[in-house]
């Protein structure tokens, strides 16, 4: 087995160690030249595997070793995108600090902002709105982050706060979905009183 083959084999071991949070094995493998961007059959590299489990200490090591926070697996998930959907705010901060591409999208052509909006992840959105992420980006469903927060949200405190944050950040309240239904019309159909007030403000 030549060096590159050994490095790739160690890279696969690195993925599994990262997923388990086995920091000592991760350190050892990195010191022995494991290929940090090796991918398993699911397309996951070490940092993606660690991100799914929110292994922050492992993430720190991998980033320091040059891991790519934008590298995607077979389902088009990256360490950065995982942080936005799973409400991993500290992971998000680490990926942003490591050069996360906030314009990258998932399999629905959804940005991190859209992913966080439909789930009501207030703190993640707060961080994302500090970047130049596009507030009015439209995904494959024909929805913006604002529309997702209303259509897929529950109209409760968190989703209402998301709507407030998005509108304050310049979300277009008049931009309809692909069927021509506006955010306000969606909110009215669900009787989301507080969100209706924000949209009419």
The token pair that represents 162 in the structure block: 């998301």
> Tens digits of per-residue pLDDT, 59-96?
999 999 999 999 999 999 999 999 999 999 999 999 99
Distances, alpha carbon 151 to alpha carbons 12, 112, 148, 186, in Å: 40, 17, 5, 7
- By the 10 Å C-beta count (0-12 exposed, 13-18 middle, 19+ buried), 192 is classed as buried
Confidence of residue 6 (pLDDT cuts 50, 70, 90): confident
- Please report whether residue 106 resides in a domain: no
- Please report whether residue 131 resides in a domain: yes
> Tens digits of per-residue pLDDT, 50-60?
999 999 999 99
> Tens digits of per-residue pLDDT, 8-60?
788 899 999 999 999 999 999 999 989 999 999 999 999 999 999 999 999 99
Rounded Cα distance, 103 and 196, in Å: 29
Mean pLDDT of the chain: 96
Domain boundary among 69, 101, 133: 101
Question: Which domain range does residue 62 map to?
Answer: 1-101
Q: Does residue 1 register a pLDDT over 60? A: no
Rounded Cα distance, 44 and 41, in Å: 7
At which residue do the structure tokens 């979300």 appear? Answer: 171
- Please report whether residue 77 resides in a domain: yes
Task: Looking at the structure, tell me whether residues 33 and 83 fall in a common domain.
Answer: yes
């Amino acid at each position: 087995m030549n060096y590159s083959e050994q490095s790739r084999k160690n890279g696969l071991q690195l993925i599994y160690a990262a997923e388990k949070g086995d920091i000592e094995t991760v350190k050892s493998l990195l010191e022995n030249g494991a290929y940090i961007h090796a991918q398993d059959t699911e397309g996951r590299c070490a940092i993606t595997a660690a991100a799914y489990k929110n292994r922050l200490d492992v993430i720190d090591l991998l980033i320091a070793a040059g891991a790519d926070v934008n590298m995607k697996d077979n389902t088009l998930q990256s360490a950065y995108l995982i942080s936005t959907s799973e409400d991993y705010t500290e992971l998000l901060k680490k990926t942003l600090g490591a050069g996360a591409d906030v314009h990258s999208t998932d399999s629905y052509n959804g940005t991190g902002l859209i992913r966080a909006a439909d789930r009501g992840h207030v703190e993640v959105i707060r961080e994302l709105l500090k970047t130049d992420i596009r507030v009015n980006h439209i995904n494959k469903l024909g929805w913006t982050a604002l529309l997702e927060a209303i259509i897929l949200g529950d109209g409760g405190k968190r989703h209402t706060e998301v709507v407030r944050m998005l509108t304050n950040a310049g979300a277009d309240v008049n931009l309809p979905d692909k069927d021509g239904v506006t955010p306000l019309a969606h909110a009215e159909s669900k009787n989301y009183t507080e969100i209706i007030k924000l949209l009419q403000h």
